Structure 1
Amino acid sequence: MRIDIEDLHVAYAGRTVVAGAHLIAAEGEITGLVGPNGSGKSTLLRTVYRHLKPTAGRVLLDGADIGDIPPARSARHVAALPQERGGDFELTVREVVAMGRTPYKRAFAGEDATDRDVVARALADVGMAGHTARRFTELSGGERQRVLLARAFAQQPDVLVLDEPTNHLDIRHQVELLALLRTRRRTTLVSLHDLNAAASVCDRLHVLHGGRVVASGPPREVLQPALLAAVFGVRAAVAEHPLTGDPLIAFDHRSPVDGPDGAGIPMSAPSGVSGAGPGRSHR
């Protein structure tokens, strides 16, 4: 399935947070949202998984306005890993992951063999198969993150919406998660702070700044020093990763440029959304 975001505006608490965003998450591709804090990434994602309603514009799921799709039906197609985790679950790890099967169950229906297989596979995928009986409240931040990701996998969605999915994960589990996303090849819309991770995993990037999409395209085209200076306020050099060939961004931690204000965004940077073809192939 494909996600189209058309002229999206979102405002709350009297402030416009997303202003006229246009972007595409193409079927089977990993589409990344990057930008500084407060640029509107999480707000935009919340409209896709229906936590927020747009002020104007719309989110389309395979051409249908997602707001017109019954929630139980859309939950079979779109699964989310939000930044806000809600309250602590007084449930076991397995019970939390089994919640992902809810869209497929009638009221008061019990588990069947398919549910058990799906839950077991989701737990194995995130490396938590040996922790099924532990209480969710007893887990570390990284373990909770992996369990909630398994819950999203258990929904068997066509579209994954992931807001900073590598938060709290150590480097090994970050690498494993990104590799898993590449292997699954579901339509994925993901926000990432780590630009090198975004360059590695994403087919296409959309750069947000001040609530607007200011650049779009394959990572190699988008992540250029001029844009990094204008949007993020940092000096950086972009090279080729010696192991993967992906773009590798080296930041100057000693002398950042002036704070970003958006005025210096280079006109040569890819802007807008011009098609949704594959950005590149993964190794």
Structure 2
Amino acid sequence: MNVEIEDLHVGYAGRDVVAGVRLLAASGEIAGLIGPNGSGKSTVLRTVYRHLRPAAGRVLLAGTDLRSLTAAQTARQVAALPQERGSDFELTVHEVVAMGRTPYKRAFAGEDRSDRETVAAALAAVGLAGQGARRFAALSGGERQRALLARAFAQDPEVLVLDEPTNHLDVRHQVELLTLLRAQRRTTLISLHDLNAAASLCDRLHVLHAGRLVASGTPREVLTPRLLAEVFGVRAAVTDHPLTGDVLIAFDHREAPSTAEG
């Protein structure tokens, strides 16, 4: 399922925080949103999972305007892992993950065998097999992150919207998460601060700066020394990863950035 964002404008307190953004996540593609803090990444993603209503522009799912769908119809197609995540659920891990089945249930309907199997598979996918009986509030930050990702998987969506999903994860679980997302091959919109992770994971990158889209393309097309200096304010060399051949960014931690390099 394609996700297209057309001329998106979102404002707070009378000013645009996102202005004229156009971007695409093609069917089965992982599209990354990168940019400095405050560049508008989370705001764009919130419009896709309907937490925000844009002042202008459209979000299209397979060519259908998101605003023409009911909340239930959207929930069957789009699952989100936002940055603002609850941590005080007085629920078990299984119960939290089972919330992902809600769009498919009638009011007050109980959990059936298919739901239980889906929840178990989602927990196993994120490395929490056998942990369903634990209290969600007792989990570590990284475990909560993985449980909430399992909830998104249990929703069985066409589209995943993930806002900084590697936050709170140690290196091993970051690598496992990125490997899992590649294997899923669902249409995915994801924001990441780790540019090397974005280069490795994403088929396409969209760069936001001050609420505007400033570059789009493959990681190799987008992640140039000039862009890294101009947008992120860092001096860096771009080379090939010795193990994977992906783009690898080597940051200079000693000198100020220069925008003169191409």
TM over 0.5: yes
Aligned to 1:58: 58
Aligned to 2:184: 184
Aligned to 2:141: 141
Equivalent residue runs for 1:25-64 within 5 Å: 25-64=25-64
Distance in 2 separating the partners of 1:231 and 1:221:
15
Distance in 2 separating the partners of 1:165 and 1:255:
30
Equivalent residue runs for 1:72-151 within 5 Å: 72-86=72-86, 88-151=88-151
Aligned to 2:16: 16
Distance in 1 separating the partners of 2:260 and 2:74:
37
Distance in 2 separating the partners of 1:15 and 1:7:
16
Aligned to 1:5: 5
Distance in 1 separating the partners of 2:175 and 2:148:
17
Q: Is the 8 A contact 2:35 2:208 kept in 1?
A: yes
Question: More deviation in 128-137 or 139-148?
Answer: 128-137
C-alpha displacement at 1:239, in angstroms? Answer: 0.8
C-alpha displacement at 1:30, in angstroms? Answer: 0.3
Give the SS at the match of 2:176.
helix
Q: Is the 8 A contact 1:231 1:265 kept in 2?
A: no
1:220 and 2:220 correspond: yes
Q: Is the 8 A contact 1:227 1:265 kept in 2?
A: no
- What TM-score does the superposition give when structure 1 sets the normalisation length? 0.90
Question: Which structure 1 segments of 5+ residues have no match?
Answer: 259-263, 269-283
Aligned to 2:210: 210
Note the alpha carbon deviations across 1:216-275, whole angstroms, 9 max, x for none.
0000111010000000000000111010000100001112327xxxxx699x8xxxxxxx
| Alignment length (residue pairs) | 262
Q: Is the 8 A contact 1:81 1:152 kept in 2?
A: yes
C-alpha displacement at 1:16, in angstroms? Answer: 1.2
Distance in 2 separating the partners of 1:174 and 1:86:
21
Distance in 1 separating the partners of 2:224 and 2:239:
10
Measured on the aligned residues, the alpha-carbon RMSD in Å equals 1.4
Note the alpha carbon deviations across 1:62-94, whole angstroms, 9 max, x for none.
111111100001100000000001352110000
In the superposition, relative to structure 1, how do residues 265 and 84 fare at CA in structure 2: closer, same or farther (>3 Å)? farther
Give the SS at the match of 1:109.
coil
Distance in 2 separating the partners of 1:53 and 1:201:
29
Give the SS at the match of 1:254.
coil
Give the SS at the match of 2:43.
helix
Distance in 1 separating the partners of 2:12 and 2:71:
22
Give the SS at the match of 1:122.
helix
Q: Is the 8 A contact 2:39 2:208 kept in 1?
A: yes
- What TM-score does the superposition give when structure 2 sets the normalisation length? 0.97
Question: Which structure 2 segments of 5+ residues have no match?
Answer: none
Identity over aligned pairs, percent:
76
Distance in 1 separating the partners of 2:97 and 2:125:
12
Question: More deviation in 96-105 or 65-74?
Answer: 65-74
Q: Is the 8 A contact 1:11 1:17 kept in 2?
A: yes
Moved over 3 A (4+): none
Equivalent residue runs for 1:156-175 within 5 Å: 156-175=156-175
C-alpha displacement at 1:17, in angstroms? Answer: 0.8
Give the SS at the match of 1:165.
coil
- Aligned partner of 2:154: which letter? A
Distance in 1 separating the partners of 2:260 and 2:88:
42
Note the alpha carbon deviations across 1:83-113, whole angstroms, 9 max, x for none.
0013521100000000000000000111111
- Aligned partner of 2:2: which letter? R
Distance in 2 separating the partners of 1:256 and 1:59:
39
